[in-house]
Amino acid sequence: MNALEEAKQVSLPKLTPAEKAELLSVLERETARVFPGIERTPGVCGGSACIAGTRIPVWGLEEARRQGAGEVQLLLSYPILRAETLAHAWAYAETHRAEIEEDIRENAEA
């Protein structure tokens, strides 16, 4: 039996509803950190989340999308990007809304 099956069959039934809710919260935080192709590097773009190996910030892509840029236009403007990378950027932006909003606000004030 693998760890997931063991958790579902043995551990999970033993948890109270409050403990299950806490576990769900922990799992959400853990999985929210997994965005292939997205990285935050201190000293690069002010530490904002960027497309890995570039200085293309996720907030910049999100702001461009809000201003009407479509995925095709973004892919043409940034040939290094792939559709899959954009999908990860959108997922990151959705999961980290407050961070992205703050980055957009800070950039607008600069």
The CATH number for 99's domain is 1.10.10.10
Clarify whether residues 26 and 48 are in a common domain.
Answer: no
Count the alpha carbons within 13 Å of 69 in the hemisphere toward its beta carbon. 15
Number of domains the chain contains? 2
pLDDT at 30 > cutoff 70: no
Clarify whether residues 12 and 44 are in a common domain.
Answer: no
Phi-psi category of residue 2: left, alpha or beta, with phi > 0 → left and psi -120 to 50 → alpha:
beta
Inter-residue contact 92 to 44 (CB < 8 Å): no
Distance, CA of 37 to CA of 80 (rounded, Å): 12
Domain that holds residue 17: 1-31
Clarify whether residues 55 and 93 are in a common domain.
Answer: yes
Report CA 19 to chain centroid distance, whole Å: 26
- Note the pLDDT tens digit of each residue in 87-104: 999 999 998 999 999 999
Q: What pLDDT does residue 27 have? A: 74
Supply the pTM of this predicted model: 0.69
Inter-residue contact 57 to 50 (CB < 8 Å): yes
